[in-house]
Amino acid sequence: MHKIREVIVVEGRYDKNALSQVVDAVILETAGFGIFKDRQKQKLLRTLAETRGLIVLTDPDGAGFVIRNFLKGCTDPSRVKHAYVPDIPGKERRKSSPSKEGKLGVEGMRPALLLEALRRAGASFEEAEAAPEREPITKADLYARGLSGGEGSAEKRRELLKKLDLPERLTANGLLDVLNALMSREEFYRL
């Protein structure tokens, strides 16, 4: 498993699933064209771009390029890297027919092709021994602070999301990913 510093942005959950089997990174979904109207997610992406940098990895079809170009315009272009997968004719296993353009999307790519696309984009691969690993924020930390698994935890989570100016629909797992991308465990406890 290859650890990547930047936050990777993909179109949907199947893309995220395919990529999470190859790399250890924060991976966020745009929900396809849903990103166009989701101001909170746009703001989150701008924040993450400033703190960690973004890698945009969309399908090689027209829709993927529309989403990619939109993200170029709503974030600082100097903090965004673009990873491109090759045009490969075919269809994903879960689909009954190929896409409109007849190309495989991110979810249909072999792991080696995904890694190569990230390398060509200039992803910051981190070696396990290279940098001291900071202690991650865990589900147990969220539970201990009353942010998951307890009475009123959803309300406490919403308050924290509002305080941090994050999307209110972020799940406990999504919150965990974002918190680990934005701060250390010590900063979380001080917060």
- pTM assigned to the model: 0.78
Mean pLDDT of 136-150: 89
Judge whether residue 128 has pLDDT over 60.
no
Question: 10 Å Cβ neighbour count for 27?
Answer: 21
Mean pLDDT of 6-20: 95
Alpha carbon distances (Å) from 187 to 44, 71, 105, 173: 18, 29, 38, 18
Q: How far apart are the first and last CA of the chain?
A: 31
Q: What is the pLDDT of residues 86-113, one digit of tens each?
A: 889 888 888 888 788 888 999 999 999 9
Cα atoms in the Cβ-side hemisphere of radius 13 Å centred on 161: 24
Which residues does residue 24 pair with via DSSP β-bridges, in sequence order?
Answer: 3
Mean pLDDT of 42-48: 92
